[in-house]
Amino acid sequence: MNMKIIVAKDEKEIGCLAADIYEQLIASKPDCVLGLATGSSPLPLYAELVKRCDEGRIDFSAVRSVNLDEYRGLAPEHPQSYRRFMQENLFDKINIKRENTFVPDGLAEDADAACRAYEDNITSLGGIDLQLLGIGHDGHIGFNEPDDDFPLTTHVVTLTEMTREANERFFSCLDEVPHEAVTMGIGTVMAAKKIIMIVTGAGKADILRQLKYGEVRPELPASVLHLHPDVTVFCDEAAYSKC
Ligand code: F6R
């Protein structure tokens, strides 16, 4: 198995260990392309990246970034949009240039054309050097939900009720959670040169166990990562407790 699993004592340690990888990558390739994620899992890492930028240890001025996904129907300034999440938790706090940050357009009228353009942009940036992932309780990565096959490229998805309910905590009620999203495909993620996944909390213990021991199958989208040559999973003891 290629997938490396590192069990840290808590989220702060995960943030530091993962930030070391970013610090090294950006020092060796200042204009690298970072694939970024939203949700709770990346927050300790983003806090540590902000700290290291403040301390002058990481310079994001030439870094480019592409985000995994965005809700359909939410404007960039909507409080629950992923663009807004990225601005508030990372971009506004580091010296990355706004024009170098890309998040799928949740309002595009021609969604399929926008998805193709998003893929083309990733290609023209030179591909993703380091992709960050969380994992959903059903094994989704990005918003690639359990399915009969692995979707290859950026596309529109219908969110499962499980995923909508898991994200309800960010909205005032379930009705407000969008039903659709735009997400990078599994192929887009797998084309990244290196992948980091962060998994924290007892609530992720079952899915981490399934990921660790499960076969590669589209009903567990994250299982595809077993086929990637360079994946590191950072988890805390609670998430690892059933492994
Ligand atoms: C976020 C994303 C999702 C989350 C996953 C876990 O951009 O693509 O796949 O990584 O839903 O979410 P958290 O980290 O909130 O548990």
Helix residue spans in 128-243 (DSSP H): 161-167, 186-190, 205-213, 237-240
- pLDDT at residue number 163: 87
Centre of ligand 1 from the C-alpha of residue 188, in Å: 16
For the question of residue 140 being annotated catalytic, the response is: yes
CA separation for the pair 198, 194 (Å, rounded)? 14
* Closest by CA position to 18, among listed 235, 224, 211, 222: 235
Cα atoms in the 13 Å half-sphere on the side-chain side of 127: 10
For the question of residue 228 being annotated catalytic, the response is: no
Centre of ligand 1 from the C-alpha of residue 168, in Å: 13
Q: Describe the crossing of helices 43-54 and 11-28 by its angle, rounded to 10 degrees.
A: 50
What is the number of the ligand 1 atom nearest to the C-alpha of 39?
15
Contacts 24+ apart (CB under 8 A), 85-94: 85/38, 86/36, 86/38, 89/42, 89/43, 89/46, 90/36, 90/46, 90/49, 90/50, 91/65, 93/50, 93/53, 94/49, 94/50, 94/53, 94/58, 94/60
Q: At 217, list the tokens.
A: 């199958």
- pLDDT at residue number 35: 98
3-state SS of 43-95 is: HHHHHHHHHHHHCCCCCCCCCEEEECEEECCCCCCCCCCHHHHHHHHCHHHCC
- pLDDT at residue number 162: 87
CA separation for the pair 42, 11 (Å, rounded)? 10
- pLDDT at residue number 4: 97
Q: Which of the residues 69, 105, 129, 236 is marked catalytic?
A: 69
Whole-model pTM: value is: 0.97
**97, containing H or E segment:** none
* CA 187 to chain centroid: 14
Q: At 18, list the tokens.
A: 């993962």
- pLDDT at residue number 1: 59
- Any idea which residue has 């094994």 for tokens? 139
- pLDDT at residue number 2: 75
Q: Indicate which residue's Cα is closest to atom 10 of ligand 1.
A: 134
Q: Indicate which residue's Cα is closest to atom 1 of ligand 1.
A: 38
Whether residue 101 has its Cβ less than 6 Å from ligand 1: no
Q: Which of the residues 23, 138, 168, 180 is marked catalytic?
A: 138
For the question of residue 155 being annotated catalytic, the response is: no
Whether residue 185 has its Cβ less than 6 Å from ligand 1: no
- pLDDT at residue number 236: 98
For the question of residue 69 being annotated catalytic, the response is: yes
CA separation for the pair 98, 57 (Å, rounded)? 20
Per-block average pLDDT, block size 10, for the chain (243 residues)? 90 98 98 97 98 98 98 96 98 98 97 97 98 96 94 94 90 95 98 98 98 96 97 98 97
- pLDDT at residue number 29: 98
If DSSP codes are grouped into helix, strand and coil, which group holds residue 179?
Answer: coil
Centre of ligand 1 from the C-alpha of residue 68, in Å: 9
CA separation for the pair 78, 95 (Å, rounded)? 23
CA separation for the pair 114, 182 (Å, rounded)? 9
